[in-house]
Amino acid sequence: MRTYAIFTRPDSQLALEVAEDVREIMKGYSLEETDVNKADLVFIIGGDGTFLHAMKRDPRGLIFPIKLGRVGFFYEVDVTNYREYINRFFAGRYRVATYRKIRFLGYECVNEHYITSKNSGKVISAAIYADGELYRKGLADGVMISTPLASTAYSLSVGGPLMDPAIKAAIVNVVSPLGGPIPSLVVNDPKKVLIEVFPDRRGQKLVTDGIDMKEFNSLIEERPQRGGEFKVIRFGDTGIKRVVRARSKLSRLRYR
């Protein structure tokens, strides 16, 4: 390991201070700073939004998240203990969790792709096929394709299942369909699903990990595909136990 990079919230003084401290620590390990997409080790300092923005830079090395604030599913190290965990990492006392993104319409997501109307409150007309069989056709607020890692995120809020992030799968949810809710569709390979979105003069858009990526008003016929992998340094649980714990923590924050 020769290089590192830091991606942080530019509007947080605390994040900038932690970043400077990490740079000083890295000097002791003789690592040189470089770009996020070139580094062997990438520190992400912030919350889940910062993590998702960093992933748009396509980091190839090991990801070391340092959390600011209370909520952060991707994080287990925070500003109170990052020095201890950096030492544990360089002592070899860590594990690596590998996750896979999903590609749709030319974009990759860590959490989810969401196809919806350009106009808030309007519905879209769409059809979902699973292995060639029609699963659902009709009007809805949108169609969501999520990774297992995102099962505690937007997918959960629209009725999706909790999933072990190690499972290679995709979750498809129809969001607020006319006629009542329908079960989530879970497949072991996203390309088994065909999404059709029918033309609408008002237009639709693709939202990837919370960011508007593309607008369109013509017929869309697309199969999601497996995207690239990324590797996150873990010091604790990496499977379903971590997911359940995160869900429990979110519930406590909600009702506090």
What CATH number does the domain containing 217 carry? Answer: 2.60.200.30
76: left (phi over 0), alpha (psi -120 to 50) or beta: alpha
Q: Mean pLDDT across the stretch 10-32?
A: 95
Query: Both 220 and 106 in a single domain?
Result: yes
Counting Cβ atoms within 10 Å, is residue 60 exposed (0-12), middle (13-18) or buried (19+)?
A: middle
Structure tokens at 250: 């979110």
Number of domains in the chain: 2
| DSSP SS3 for 206 | strand
Query: Both 159 and 82 in a single domain?
Result: no
Query: Both 112 and 224 in a single domain?
Result: yes
Query: Both 108 and 222 in a single domain?
Result: yes
Domain that holds residue 12: 3-93
Q: What percent of the chain has pLDDT over 70?
A: 91
Least confident of 30-39, 100-109, 110-119, 247-256: 247-256
Least confident of 12-16, 150-154, 252-256: 252-256
Instruction: Judge whether 11 lies within some domain.
Output: yes
Residue 244 is predicted with a pLDDT of: 66
Query: Both 8 and 126 in a single domain?
Result: no
- Residues whose CB falls within 8 Å of the CB of residue 100, separated by 6 or more in sequence, listed in order: 147, 168, 226, 227, 228, 229
Q: What is the CATH number of the domain that holds 71?
A: 3.40.50.10330
The yes-or-no verdict on residue 21 having pLDDT over 70 is yes
* DSSP-assigned states of every residue in 102-151: EEETTEEESSEEEEEESSTT--EEEEEEETTEEEEEEEEEEEEEE-GGGT
Q: Mean pLDDT across the stretch 139-166?
A: 90
Of 165 and 143, the one with more pLDDT: 143
Query: Both 106 and 224 in a single domain?
Result: yes
- Please tell me the distance from the alpha carbon of residue 100 to that of residue 103, in angstroms, as a whole number: 10
Residue 75 is predicted with a pLDDT of: 84
Instruction: Judge whether 185 lies within some domain.
Output: yes
The pair phi, psi for residue 228, each rounded to 5°, is -75, 165
Query: Both 107 and 89 in a single domain?
Result: no
Q: Could you read off the pLDDT of 42-63 as tens digits, one per residue? A: 999 998 889 999 999 999 999 9
Query: Both 134 and 115 in a single domain?
Result: yes
Instruction: Judge whether 122 lies within some domain.
Output: yes
Element (H, E) at 23: helix 13-28
Query: Both 65 and 137 in a single domain?
Result: no
Element (H, E) at 230: strand 225-234
| DSSP SS3 for 239 | coil
